Structure 1
Amino acid sequence: MLLALQDVTFEFGARTIVRNASWHIVPGDRVGLIGMNGTGKSTLLRIINGEYSISGGSLNKAKNLSLGFFNQDLLSFESDDSILEVGMMAFGEALKVEKDLERLVAEMEHNESEALLNEYSDKLHLFETLDGYNMRNKSAQVLEGLGFSTADLERPYSQFSGGWRMRVLLARLILQHPDVLMLDEPTNHLDLPSIEWLERYLQTYDGAVIIVSHDRFFLDKMVNKVVELYQQELHHYAGNYSNYEVEKDMRRELQQRAYENQQDYIRQQERFIERFKAKASKAAQAQSVMKRLDKIERIEQVDSGPSKIRINFSVDKQPGKILLTLSDVSKSFGKIEVLNHTGAEINRGDKIALIGANGKGKSTLLRIIAGTEPVSGERIPGHNVVTSFYAQHQLESLNLDYEILDELKTSGSGRSEMELRSLLGCFLFNGDDVFKKIRILSGGEKARVALAKTIISQANFMLLDEPTNHLDMLSVQMLIDALNKYEGSFVLVSHDRYFVSQTANKIWEIVNGEIKEFKGTYAEWEEYKKRQAQREAQAQQQAAAEKKAASANEQVKKAAAPPPAPVKGAGAIDKEAQKELQKQQKQFSQIESQLASLKTRKGKLEEEMGDPATYADPKKFKSCEEEYAHVGKELDRVNQQYEKVFEAIMELEAKLGN
């Protein structure tokens, strides 16, 4: 066991975070720590990290246990070193030994004593034991996995923005390889390729991992246990997040049933007591029943759960069929080309997710669509389009000295105070909450205020840049439900794969300066990308096979050449072997023709399957997929036959001395 919390109680001022909580962490644990915003998940990680002292119970750790804690406070770190050097700080002992080796080399230039040579030899062995020779390569691999280019590695840490700095610090923590790795919202700073890299890395991590995250896709892939912090208690569930949801519903149903059964029993006993407590003959029995009721352990009724955001986007005007057309659009920032003579069209009813790696221009394209970013080419807006733009910078532009209600009044919506208070109630700002200063709000509360401002406009076209940042899972689900009921159209940028999968009917990517559109859901797009990757892998294998075949064909041609006239006195040629060779050569030619035909058919099928129109016809798509699988099997079978005949030809050739 690595860690054990036993009956732990912790109070933060007058507020209790956990009471009598127990939790055992063992090697191989992948734990998702979940709960509503503000329940104390990050505080619990700090308790484990030793930053806070517990009020009661015990916190036991294995001897020499190493802990790694990734959190927002790490941003206080400053350095002018390159990000590669910052990453290599994980190898602190190896770096120290490396400096000792440099000192010893300098000393040995003037002093070649045996003592110095022995010390140098010992340090060299220690450096190798600490994996010092690989620390630069390992650091580079992790940093590049998290989205940095090779050229970025030598850039100073101080030149990067907050989000990129967090990636560097995550890389350093990963390279330290602690026994228990605690990650507080690690995917907030990562794009999709980096999230996928982190998932692959953590799946092979041999320590324990505790993850606080609102990314349910990430939790579903990563965790084998879920611990929920709710009402100051820790509730333990086996499996991933989806299993947790199912099991929690079952637990709640069983608890509610047990509560109702107990209430029925209590009412029956209370009626008996009320009826017979005044009768002398039954008074003793009634008294006994009363004592029994006093001792019974009461089952609590299932609570209704936390309050839910009730978002309802309304549309004032119906727009035309085409909301926006981009034609021959280009955009560059210095030498960095974002868009290059590309175009796209947004139609009424489109719910588009703009996805991809950071730095590809997603937010820039969103601003171009909004008309706030200058661009070369044509941007043609549609008829009756009312646009509302939600972006992260809006959180920063909120007036910190304003009260929440005043902030909504500045939107110029013309709504009355009563209407605005009703709207804020939908976003969980009830009663006097509307008079809170923006300054004291949490990130999630500010996000809710900004979202409330977005929907006041009654826009029929919304642009949403990372709308789920700072929202907990319940709030994200409420936003999903609202967007699915929304009668307008939208383009959103998000790295939350669950959110995208539940809301978008089209996927956009920026690839080599072009806007690539996929008509379908995120799940369909993922499947399409997998098939593309498989086809590329197969194409590479096929190219290698063709190269091998070309070489083999050359050998066969040589073998097929007429044999030289026998030298006088030489042994007679094996006529049976010669006959068999000719037979195998003929068969080899037939197999080559068969392979060429199958490859041609496979290529045509790949073109059909690469056409989005194929997906619109389920029968055609199924037929293509089945035929593609059949052709693949045939290719495998004929390739095996090809190899077998080729080997037979080589053996016969050797036998005949050709």
Structure 2
Amino acid sequence: MILACHNLSKSFGDQVIVKDGSFHIENHEKAALVGINGAGKSTILKMIVGQLSPDAGTVVLTKGKTLGYLAQHQEMESGNTIYEEVRTAKAEVIEMEKQIRTIEIELPSLSGDALETRLATYQRLTSAFEHADGYAYKSELTGVLKGLGFTEEEFTKPVDSLSGGQKTRVSLGKLLLTKPDVLLLDEPTNHLDMNSIAWLETYLLNYPGAVLIVSHDRYFLNRVVTKVIEVEQGQLHTYMGNYSDFAVKKEQLREARLKEYLNQQREIKHQEAVIEKLRSFNREKSIKRAESREKMLDKMTLVDKPMEINTDIHLKLEPSRISGNDVLSVKGLSKAFPPQTLFTDISFEIKRGEHVAIIGDNGTGKTTLLKILNNVIQADSGSFTLGANVEIGYYDQEHHVLHMDKTIFEEISDDYPTLTNTQIRNMLAAFLFTGDDVFKLIGDLSGGERGRVSLAKLMLSNANFLILDEPTNHLDITSKEILERALNDYTGTVLYVSHDRYFINQTATRILELTGNTFVNYIGNYDYYLEKKDLLTPAVSTAASEDAPAQVSESKLSWQEQKEEQARIRKRQNDLKKTEERISVLETRNGEIDELMMQEEVYTNSVKCQELAKEKTANEAELEELYEKWEELAE
């Protein structure tokens, strides 16, 4: 055990963050701290690092071990370049190297005791330098910066000029390079693209120390952690396994607790009815028995009702009218912001009912494409056409459609006057606005809160073609799950940009990857994309070196090949199912034959015995073939 929190308690006024909460982290362990927005996850991290004091309880770090903490927001005004700032993480190694070089210059002029003393110092320093992997620190710096999405051209950028997200990435790089014994990371993937998140996953999986992560990125947590600590209504609960394991176990426990609660409530009502009936008899013995039952009820330890969870809210999205089968046709679209070219001569089509995710590195032009499709900006060349009866609902991260002087409730009710108060509150609750929150002014909300209001409005619109830019940003896991179910039930068409791999995996039927200034099609979800990306990479690189029509042709060819492969997979699955069914029939029949052969009227009848034996032999032969066929199909 390297870190332990014992009986932590913390409140802010009437709001209880945690009460008598305990958990521990083992050496080398990778753990997650999860909970809804506002549950107190960041507060717990701040108590661990000493930025906040607990009202009660203790935080114990093993003696001699170090903590490293990445907060969500970074202040960085050092005057350094990106490379210089990250290089400060290796200050001790750099100082050792400097001392070694100084001694190397001095040694030729020394003799006697002075030489012996200096040589001893030199040997000690070089040994420590090698132990700290000092000879590789420059390549390590470069590797971490590139892994976190910085190009070598950006290394010389002053950190004072960076955005908040870029500063967070620089801080994360510095922290990783200091290699503390315990890493505390608060939303480390917020400002990373998919490649950088994948790099960070690998880095953390191989990290020699312990890691405690606060994150809403479920795919990331599934890949990295082996323990989940949940903050819920001031209580801490620990689950072993990754995020998916946690979600299954939590639901099982919740169902068990709900069943226990309902059973106890039924027992209480039954006992109360019996007590009332006994008292109505108005006999001394009956009254004593009633009193005895009352005492039993008073001694009963009441089971708390499990918390009502937002996932019980089901948003039903339904377009007011159906669009034509051809929803969107894009031909030869190009866009550049000189000197950078985003995409060139891209063409694709979207059909009714498709859920299409656009993915790609930061800066490749994903959001720009959505803005072109919504006529927010113009393309340099090319065109796009909307199909018959297509009505777009657009969600962008700038939230132009909100009225700053209205409350959240008014923003919804004014646009949708036919909705009841309950319907409006249910929709807002799904996006984390409960109680008096609904009466906050839009102008007083944070960017994330405005985003949630915009998303709630869009979910209520009559649009049959939803275009969404990073719809899960600023949503907690529960809200993401509600949105996923709503989109999966949606019969209209969806085109969205997202870095949330778990969300893409749950909702996409097709992926367009923007890479090398063009699109590559993948017919499937994110797992399918990962499976096929390596196979298609040579095709993409070849296409990138040819002219634009060849790129489109190659992309279409890949799409067609995938459709054919999916058809082959479906056929193999059907064959496998039929094989398993036939095996089951034959094995069942052989069991019946064995039972028949034990019956006197059968084993005394030589003709019947021969018939059954012959049938079983034939069954065994067919089974032998089926077993082999099953093995081939199963592979």
Q: Please report the TM-score for the alignment, with normalisation by the length of structure 1.
A: 0.75
Q: Counterpart in 2 of 1:81?
A: 80
Q: Counterpart in 1 of 2:46?
A: 46
Give the one of 208, 220, 223 matched to 2:222: 220
**Given residue 96 of structure 2, which amino acid in structure 1 is its aligned partner?**
V
Aligned pair in 2 of structure 1 residues 420, 99: CA closer, same or farther (>3 Å)?
Answer: farther
1:161 aligns with 2:163: yes
Aligned pair in 2 of structure 1 residues 418, 323: CA closer, same or farther (>3 Å)?
Answer: closer
For 1:564-643, what aligned pairs fall within 5 Å after superposition? 611-618=561-568, 622=572
* Range that drifts further, 33-42 or 329-338: 329-338
Aligned pair in 2 of structure 1 residues 534, 434: CA closer, same or farther (>3 Å)?
Answer: same
SS in 1 for 2:197: helix
Q: Counterpart in 2 of 1:23?
A: 23
Preserved CA contact (<8 Å) 1:213 1:219: yes
Distance 2:36 2:135 in 1: 45
**Given residue 227 of structure 2, which amino acid in structure 1 is its aligned partner?**
K
Instruction: Note the residue ranges of structure 2 that are not aligned, 5 or more in a row.
Output: 541-556, 577-635
Q: Counterpart in 1 of 2:517?
A: 513
Aligned pair in 2 of structure 1 residues 336, 33: CA closer, same or farther (>3 Å)?
Answer: same
Give the one of 222, 234, 237 matched to 1:235: 237
SS in 1 for 2:399: helix
TM superposition shift of 1:43:
0.8
Distance 1:615 1:223 in 2: 34
* Range that drifts further, 333-342 or 209-218: 333-342
For 1:289-300, what aligned pairs fall within 5 Å after superposition? 289-300=293-304
SS in 2 for 1:76: coil
Deviations 1:503-555 (A, max 9, x none): 2221101232122222333332222225457999xxxxxxxxxxxxxxxxxxx
For 1:30-429, what aligned pairs fall within 5 Å after superposition? 30-73=30-73, 75-98=74-97, 100=99, 123-271=125-273, 273-274=275-276, 279-281=283-285, 286-306=290-310, 311-382=315-386, 383-394=388-399, 402-405=406-409, 407=411, 415-416=416-417, 422-423=423-424, 425-428=426-429, 429=433
SS in 2 for 1:258: helix
Distance 1:521 1:84 in 2: 37
Distance 1:613 1:258 in 2: 49
**Given residue 227 of structure 1, which amino acid in structure 2 is its aligned partner?**
I
For 1:516-595, what aligned pairs fall within 5 Å after superposition? 516-532=520-536
TM superposition shift of 1:107:
8.6
TM superposition shift of 1:41:
1.0
Distance 2:420 2:293 in 1: 55
Distance 2:539 2:373 in 1: 34
Preserved CA contact (<8 Å) 1:615 1:621: no
**Given residue 389 of structure 1, which amino acid in structure 2 is its aligned partner?**
Y
The count of residues paired between Structure 1 and Structure 2 equals 550
Instruction: Note the residue ranges of structure 1 that are not aligned, 5 or more in a row.
Output: 537-606, 627-658
Aligned pair in 2 of structure 1 residues 345, 265: CA closer, same or farther (>3 Å)?
Answer: closer
CA RMSD of aligned residues (A): 3.5
SS in 1 for 2:506: helix
Q: Counterpart in 2 of 1:4?
A: 4
Preserved CA contact (<8 Å) 2:344 2:517: yes
Aligned pair in 2 of structure 1 residues 443, 474: CA closer, same or farther (>3 Å)?
Answer: farther
Preserved CA contact (<8 Å) 1:609 1:621: no
Q: Counterpart in 2 of 1:14?
A: 14
Distance 2:422 2:268 in 1: 43
Deviations 1:44-90 (A, max 9, x none): 111111111111222222112211222223x2122332322222222
Distance 1:516 1:124 in 2: 51
Distance 1:365 1:111 in 2: 69
Aligned pair in 2 of structure 1 residues 29, 223: CA closer, same or farther (>3 Å)?
Answer: same
SS in 1 for 2:190: helix
Distance 1:489 1:271 in 2: 55
TM superposition shift of 1:338:
1.6
**Given residue 562 of structure 2, which amino acid in structure 1 is its aligned partner?**
P
Distance 1:474 1:9 in 2: 25
* Range that drifts further, 233-242 or 328-337: 328-337
Deviations 1:217-251 (A, max 9, x none): 11122221111111110112111122222212222
Preserved CA contact (<8 Å) 1:331 1:375: yes
Distance 2:8 2:570 in 1: 61
Q: Percent of aligned positions with the same letter in both sequences?
A: 37
SS in 2 for 1:88: helix
Preserved CA contact (<8 Å) 1:324 1:379: no
Preserved CA contact (<8 Å) 1:408 1:420: no
Distance 2:179 2:339 in 1: 38
Preserved CA contact (<8 Å) 1:309 1:427: no
Distance 1:195 1:520 in 2: 21
Q: Counterpart in 1 of 2:546?
A: none
SS in 2 for 1:178: coil
TM superposition shift of 1:10:
0.9
Q: Please report the TM-score for the alignment, with normalisation by the length of structure 2.
A: 0.77
